[in-house]
Amino acid sequence: MPNQMIDTDTALELASLLCSRLCHDMLSPVGALSNGLELLADEKDPEMRRRCFELLEQSARTSADKLKFFRLAFGAAGGFGENIPTAEPKALIDALVAGKDRLSVHWQVSADALPKAAVKTLLNLAQIAIDALVRGGSVDIAAEMRSDQGRQVAEIVVRGAGPRIAFDQTVGQALEGRLPMNELSSRTAPAAMLAAIAARLGGQVQYALGDDALVMGAMLPVA
């Protein structure tokens, strides 16, 4: 898929793949809720029922956190053309890594608010980094607004560092708008969406992969 504005058919296919990705990520916590309810219906032991309620609460919280994340990362939350307080994506990312003891997130965002396109980009880059750190590590997230030749530009950098990073190079190709549409999947669709957002704004998304670090960056002019 070339790094340019996408047509209607491509947009529909991309939306379909993003829906598939959302369903894939929601299947586990929602399935755990269903299993927990089945266990609870048959369980009579008070201690086991207490454990069931704890698992149900955890699964419900995970499901809600993921839905809130995807609502802003993929959807139209916050309206169009609006600035979003940076506390909101920070809370969503913190919730996404809650319970992952081997993973730490470091937030270095000076701006109090960012354009919606920048927030969507930041969230999706953070998720890509988190997914790549299957053996643990750290995620550094930085973003700022700066002036470039008389226009405001959102600059975003996300760095994931850890042992044996599991990063599919097709995700990188999609980030840079170099993956053909017929090769996209639910795994690469979020990256392709970022490339389309950057192209629409006249910006760019890039990545670099080393032995123990994945660095992704975006430059997005403010529309």
Q: Looking at residues 93-107, what average pLDDT do you find?
A: 92
Indicate the range of 20-24, 121-125, 151-155 predicted with least confidence: 20-24
Residue 3: per-residue pLDDT = 46
Long-range contacts of the stretch 9-15 (C-beta < 8 A, 24+): 10/181, 13/181, 13/184, 14/184, 14/189, 14/192, 14/193, 14/196
Residue 42: per-residue pLDDT = 80
Long-range contacts of the stretch 7-15 (C-beta < 8 A, 24+): 10/181, 13/181, 13/184, 14/184, 14/189, 14/192, 14/193, 14/196
Q: Is the pLDDT of residue 37 over 80?
A: yes
Q: Is the pLDDT of residue 110 over 90?
A: no
- Segment 62-78, tens digit of pLDDT: 888 999 999 999 986 65
- Domains of the chain with bracketed CATH: 8-26+71-221 (3.30.565.10)
Residue 76: per-residue pLDDT = 67
- In this prediction, residue 11 has a pLDDT band, given cuts at 50, 70 and 90, of confident
Residue 53: per-residue pLDDT = 85
Indicate the range of 41-50, 82-91, 133-142 predicted with least confidence: 41-50
Residue 2: per-residue pLDDT = 45
Task: Decide: 108 and 138 in contact? Cβ < 8 Å.
Answer: no
Q: Is the pLDDT of residue 145 over 80?
A: yes
- Segment 147-200, tens digit of pLDDT: 877 789 999 999 999 999 999 999 999 999 999 988 999 999 999 999 999 999
